[in-house]
Amino acid sequence: MKIETVADAAGAPFGNVKATREDWLRVALGVLASDGVAAVTVLHLSERLSVSRSSFYWYFRNRDDLLDELLRRWESLNTRSIVRQSEAPAGSINEAVCNVFRCWIDPKLFSPRLDFAVREWARRSQKVRVLLDRSDGERTAAIQAMFERHGYPFEDALVRARVLYFMQIGYYALDLKEPMEDRLRLAPLYLETFTGVAPREQDLVSFRAYAMLHAVAQDPATIEEAP
């Protein structure tokens, strides 16, 4: 753990701060994902980190500054990953959908708990509601563009993108606990439902290997390490 020496206004060091900016953000992200935005307070986080509350203000102007950074990280993780995976090279539409499926099985690409914490936050914040609506739109548009690149007409691609994305969000909302083996067994049927094209074995080989590699991966947004 890195120990930073903090200087006072005159530039003279006055002690060691045992938590970096990244530590504050890491713990805050975990608290947001597990307990909701109301629990993301300077006092609560300082107790988790075992540091004084005053050290928080070396890195953030105020709590709102921290919350804004948490929203940026949520967008960077969850929204950008879906967009990036939708744009990944693929030899067929089923392979392309498998690229997006990686978000649903790899929490380093997409954190379900963080996503639903932000959705719950949006119920009480118009600002967050606007950001969430924009992110949902960007995610759906990226998936729609993926279908269009593989020859689907505009409205057909739009509906397939919505079905794929809304189904997955609903899957998380229901908190379904399905073994990876069962998900992989059903994957060809899901793919044909989403794309209208029966998948080839070569469409699934890489995805299956990736899925088993990440079958027990833990959501990094909920991991808190001691500073």
- For residue 39, the tally of other CB atoms under 10 A from its CB is 13
pLDDT at 180: 85
> Which carries the bigger pLDDT value, residue 217 or residue 111?
111
Residue 13 has pLDDT above 50, yes or no: no
Q: In this predicted model, what pLDDT tens digit does every residue of 35-86 receive, in sequence order?
A: 999 999 999 999 999 999 999 999 999 999 999 999 999 999 999 999 999 9
**Over the stretch 161-207, which tens digit does the pLDDT of each residue have?**
999 999 999 988 888 888 888 989 999 999 999 999 999 999 999 99
- 221 pLDDT band, cuts 50/70/90, is low
Mean pLDDT value of segment 130-147: 98
Q: Do 70 and 29 meet the contact criterion of CB atoms below 8 Å apart?
A: yes
Domain positions in the chain are 18-222
Domain 18-222 belongs to what architecture? Orthogonal Bundle (1.10)
Angle of CA points 7, 11, 13, to nearest 5°: 35
Give the separation between CA 22 and CA 25, rounded to whole angstroms. Answer: 5
What pLDDT score was predicted for residue 189? 96
Q: Residues 109-126: what's their mean pLDDT? A: 96
Residue 122 is encoded by which pair of tokens?
Answer: 């949006």
How many residues in the chain? 227
Q: How confident is the model at residue 227 (pLDDT cuts 50, 70, 90)?
A: very low
Kindly tell me if the per-residue pLDDT of 219 is higher than 70: no
**What's the whole-model pTM score?**
0.86
pLDDT of 214: 85
Residues 6+ apart with CB under 8 A from 225: 26
What does the alpha-carbon distance between residue 103 and residue 142 come to, in Å, rounded to a whole number? 13
pLDDT for residue 226: 40
Which pLDDT does position 225 carry in this prediction?
A: 44
